[in-house]
């Protein structure tokens, strides 16, 4: 039976995901639609609650959406498996174990969890034998490890992510999104068996980040940073040129928004930390702005307080 707390989470889910992930509303709507079915107990019996194939460039929100979904539904992080680690011919042993007693990486997760979000990252890099394991996972919500132990996976959602067709998405100039979506999904269809793809509930193509979306993401991160600093006793404002600066150093044509977190740390927290060390202050109040060389941010104190 669905509790009032779970109903409240579901009612807020789409709003919460859109607040955190920008530029991918079409993906969020499709994910929420499927999750509502899964959380209402109306998923097909004997199958996982839901399964998704996320495809698109790096840094456009695929992993972040998986993380936010896990947080919103389970107050936890997704159970993440990097499939590049299972590319070798003997990868199946590392994945589901063998008769020596090992459950494998996948089995170890299942031994500790009976529900959650599995993020199967860069699925195109996995050995074919490992991919074939997911045929029974998606069809019957069951997997038997090398030890003979069988697990029930009907309490999980599975998200498979891939960068297939990413360069085409980034370089496309004359195709609209619907055309590009068909093009990318055609590439996915050539890379995986139809028996595998046919078992996935939704195959979703992520858009590249338009400039206006980059502005939204940068502003959202600045707002979060201001709150983070305030919670630690620092009243820091950002000059108008800081946003433009972060757009230059925090986004990349091929990496999307992935460099942004490191840029925030390097250009915001480092100058603040150095100022504290130089002046011995426990609390700061002042403004961060771009320096005259336009290569870094500098902190100017407006007042000193302890």
User: The domain that contains 242 carries what CATH number?
Assistant: 1.10.8.60
Rounded-to-integer distance, Cα 156 and Cα 231, Å: 35
Same domain for 190 and 50: yes
Number of domains in the chain: 2
Same domain for 200 and 158: yes
Residue 117 belongs to what H/E stretch? strand 116-121
**Which residues does 120 contact at the CB level (< 8 Å), separation at least 6?**
81, 83, 134, 158, 159, 160, 161
Look up the domain containing 240 and give its range. Answer: 211-303
Final residue of a structural domain among 172, 205, 238: 205
**Contact in structure between 119 and 77 (CB atoms under 8 Å):** no
CA distances from 265 to 2, 77, 243, 268 (A): 41, 22, 14, 6
Which pTM value belongs to this model?
0.90
Rounded-to-integer distance, Cα 46 and Cα 142, Å: 8
CA distances from 36 to 140, 185, 203 (A): 20, 25, 17
CA-CA-CA-CA dihedral for 155, 66, 164, 192, to nearest 10: 0
Same domain for 189 and 268: no
Same domain for 170 and 35: yes
Structure-block tokens of residue 249:
């150093």
Q: Could you list the pLDDT tens digit for every one of the 306 residues in the chain?
A: 567 777 888 999 999 999 999 999 999 999 999 999 999 888 888 899 999 999 999 999 999 999 999 999 999 999 999 999 999 988 999 999 988 889 999 999 999 999 999 999 999 999 999 999 999 999 999 999 999 999 999 999 999 999 998 888 887 777 788 888 898 999 999 999 999 999 999 999 999 999 999 999 999 999 999 999 999 889 999 999 999 999 999 999 889 999 999 999 999 999 899 888 888 777 888 899 998 788 899 888 875 443
**Contact in structure between 224 and 216 (CB atoms under 8 Å):** no
Same domain for 240 and 187: no
Same domain for 255 and 121: no
Nearest CA to 55 among 218, 189, 196, 253? 189
Final residue of a structural domain among 190, 205, 220: 205
Same domain for 192 and 218: no
Tell me 256's DSSP state.
B
Same domain for 109 and 135: yes
* Residue 8, pLDDT score: 86
Q: Is 116 left (phi over 0), alpha (psi -120 to 50) or beta?
A: left
Same domain for 248 and 104: no
**Strand 150-152 relative to strand 142-144: parallel, antiparallel, unpaired?**
antiparallel
Half-sphere exposure of 30 (CA within 13 A, CB side): 17
Final residue of a structural domain among 205, 234, 260: 205
**Strand 50-55 relative to strand 202-205: parallel, antiparallel, unpaired?**
parallel
Same domain for 223 and 106: no
CATH assignment of the domain containing 99? 3.40.50.300
Residue 274 belongs to what H/E stretch? helix 270-279
Nearest CA to 124 among 165, 92, 169, 174? 165
* Residue 1, pLDDT score: 58
Same domain for 237 and 175: no
Backbone angles phi, psi at 145, to 5 degrees: -80, 170
**Contact in structure between 156 and 116 (CB atoms under 8 Å):** yes
Same domain for 78 and 59: yes
Q: Which residue has 């130089």 as its token pair?
A: 278
């Amino acid at each position: 039976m669905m509790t009032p707390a779970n109903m409240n989470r579901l009612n807020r889910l789409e709003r919460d995901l859109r607040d955190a992930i920008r530029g991918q509303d079409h993906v969020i709507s499709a994910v929420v639609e499927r999750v509502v079915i899964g959380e209402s107990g109306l998923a097909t019996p004997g199958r996982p609650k839901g399964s998704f194939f996320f495809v698109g460039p790096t840094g456009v929100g695929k992993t972040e959406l998986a993380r936010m979904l896990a947080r919103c539904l389970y107050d936890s992080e997704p159970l993440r498996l990097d499939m590049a680690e299972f590319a070798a011919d003997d990868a199946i042993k590392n994945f589901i174990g063998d008769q020596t007693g090992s459950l494998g990486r996948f089995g170890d997760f299942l031994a500790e969890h009976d529900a959650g979000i599995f993020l199967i990252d860069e699925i195109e890099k996995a050995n074919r034998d490992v991919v074939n394991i997911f045929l029974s996972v998606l069809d019957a919500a069951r997997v038997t490890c090398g030890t003979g132990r069988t697990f029930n996976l009907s309490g999980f959602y599975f998200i498979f992510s891939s960068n297939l067709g990413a360069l085409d998405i980034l370089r496309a100039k004359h195709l609209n999104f619907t055309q590009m979506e068909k093009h990318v999904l055609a590439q996915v269809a050539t890379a995986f068996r139809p028996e595998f793809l046919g078992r996935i509930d939704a195959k979703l193509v992520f858009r590249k980040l338009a400039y206006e979306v980059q502005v939204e993401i940068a502003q959202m991160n600045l707002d979060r940073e201001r709150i983070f600093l305030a919670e630690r006793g620092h009243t820091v404002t950002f000059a108008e040129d800081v946003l433009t600066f972060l757009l230059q150093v925090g986004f990349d044509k091929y990496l999307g928004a992935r460099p942004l977190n490191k840029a925030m740390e390097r250009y915001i927290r480092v100058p603040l930390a150095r100022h504290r060390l130089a002046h011995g202050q426990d609390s700061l109040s002042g403004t961060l702005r771009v320096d005259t060389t336009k290569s870094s941010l500098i902190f100017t104190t407006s007042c000193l307080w302890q």
